[in-house]
Structure 1
Amino acid sequence: MTMYLLGSLLLYHTLFDKRLLQHPRFLPNQIKLEINQGISAIPAMALLTVPFFLAEIRGWSKLYDFTSDSPFFGYTLLQYPLFICFTDSGIYWIHRALHHPRIYRWLHKPHHKWAVPTPFASYAFHPLDGWSQSLPYHVYPLVFPLQKGAYLGLFIFVTMWTVFIHDAEYMPTSAIINGASCHTMHHLHFNYNYGQFTTAWDRLSGTYRKPKGDSFMEHQRMDGKEKPGDKCD
């Protein structure tokens, strides 16, 4: 909760383009609504995550204490890209499933209320929506070894990354990283850019859409072929 509120506040007062507050699809009192939804969702998500933490405490996971306990030499560094690849893949498919017509209306649509997101939209979703997309993070240490310090560090990274990709800022990004510009395209067009950290699965599955411009404001004019709406897979 602290990382969500402080991280969102920091990005809002630094990177976030305040001109977006005048965007025609920016809702009245949107920031207040985003915060209310976020602080309502996080406790429920935390409660749903308790079984995973209990499993870790009782030694049912593959978490280990010290670098010297790692499975083999070099795994200390390898665990980071493995974690990113595993969770990026899992979130892509879970996120895409949440866009299925039978699920979208009930779980994921509340998050797409924010067509022009601010950093406060990062955790503004239905609790089951947010929890389902967090599953890969908690499943990973049940399947793969992970050092406990790295686990805490990755938790902080994941939380801040989620806030960052909702700041709607069109900063230059590589073709591989799923940055704020890519995720903003998802909020605007719904059926593109489901990935979390990379664009790999979007490219492989044909759901990648390259951001068209350097400014979010350019998207006030939709391309005519796709109109804003609650479109699903």
Structure 2
Amino acid sequence: MDLVLNAADYYFFTPYIYPATWPEDSIFRQAVSLLIITNLGAYILYFLFATLSYYFVYDHSLMKHPQFLKNQVYREIMHSVQSMPWISLPTVSVFLLEVRGYSKLYDSIEEFPYGWFRFIASVLSFLFFTDMLIYWIHRGLHHRLVYKHLHKPHHIWKIPTPFASHAFHPLDGFLQGLPYHIYPFIFPLHKVVYLGLYVLVNIWTISIHDVSGCKNEKLFNGEFKKTE
């Protein structure tokens, strides 16, 4: 994330927003900047790709399903818009640790022996690591002690549209994204790969809510009935 922060400082924050006396490496300034960047980026990705998916991929016949809620698209959007700033707060704290140099993110492939092999292996291990942890986190969120408090709001949308992709309880949304942030503190990962995977993960989150409404209903209805 420091790549994005440095670009934002160079082209926008330093010349136009912050006073010259406020150093770029100030932890408070970095926190404020990351909060702005994270929220702005999240909204752009959400509205851009959810809108594209809704108009060009989503099966609109699903909206005739009896479990499709009244004004559901509007409600999904409002829920997402209200949740994302709260999700960003703990997310920014992780980004701040990365920017301050506490992660294992690196700039150059040549920093390690077998650099390109490590580069490719890190992508595969990232996908395995995050998918595995998300499975267990998601499974834990369906536990009867926490389900109704955290995860149940996301399953209000029995027939979801792409706009439901970020309609989470804030803590639920952060927990399901946490594996992506944990990985570079445990394993080395190239900064550009991390940034690219972070963007792709957000697009993937939207994509699994487009044509899969009926599948989601079949998949989660059983769990929903068990944990409700």
Fold-level match, TM-score > 0.5? Answer: yes
1:60–1:143 CA distance, 2 compared to 1 (3 A): same
Partner of 2:167: 124
Q: Return closer, same or farther for 1:153/1:38 CA change in 2, 3 Å cut-off.
A: same
The aligned runs of 1:1-233 (5 Å cut-off) are 1-70=43-112, 72-73=114-115, 74-169=117-212, 183=216, 185-187=218-220, 189-191=221-223, 230-232=225-227
1:66 touches 1:147 (CA, 8 Å); kept in 2? Answer: yes
Structure with the larger RCO, 1 or 2 (CA within 8 Å, 6+ apart): 2
CA–CA distance in structure 2, aligned partners of residues 186 and 42 of structure 1: 26
In the alignment, the residues of structure 2 paired with residue 99 and residue 105 of structure 1 have an alpha-carbon distance, to the nearest angstrom, of 8
| In 1, Cα distance between equivalents of 2:104 and 2:214 | 35
Measured in 1, the distance between the counterparts of 2:70 and 2:214 equals 23
Q: Deviation at 1:70?
A: 3.8
Q: 1:54 Cα shift?
A: 1.5
Please say if residues 120 and 163 of structure 1, whose CA atoms lie closer than 8 Å, have aligned partners that are also in contact.
yes
CA contact (8 A) 1:168 1:184 kept: no
Shift of 1:53: 1.0
Query: As a proportion of its length, which structure holds more helix?
Result: 2
* 1:19 Cα offset (Å): 0.6
Percent identical residues: 46
Cα separation, 2, equivalents of 1:110 and 1:101: 14
Q: Give the Å deviation of 1:184.
A: 5.1
2:227 maps to a residue whose letter is: C
Indicate if the aligned counterparts of 2:159 and 2:216 stay in contact, CA closer than 8 A.
no
What is the aligned-residue RMSD (CA, Å)? 1.7
* Change over 3 Å in CA distance of 1:57–1:115 after alignment to 2: same
> 62-71 vs 111-120, which deviates more?
62-71
Alpha-carbon contact 1:34-1:120 (below 8 Å) kept: yes
Q: CA deviation at 1:69?
A: 2.0
Q: Following TM superposition, by how much is the alpha carbon of 1:11 offset from its aligned partner in structure 2, in angstroms?
A: 0.5
Which amino acid counterpart does residue 118 of structure 2 have in structure 1?
Answer: Y
Could you list the runs of 5+ residues in structure 1 that have no partner in the other structure? 170-179, 192-228
Q: Which runs of 5+ in 2 are unaligned?
A: 1-42
The C-alpha deviation readout for 1:172-227, integer Å capped at 9, x for no partner, is xxxxxxxx77545434x253xxxxxxxxxxxxxxxxxxxxxxxxxxxxxxxxxxxx
CA separation of 1:143 and 1:182: change in aligned 2, threshold 3 A: farther
TM-score by length of 1: 0.75
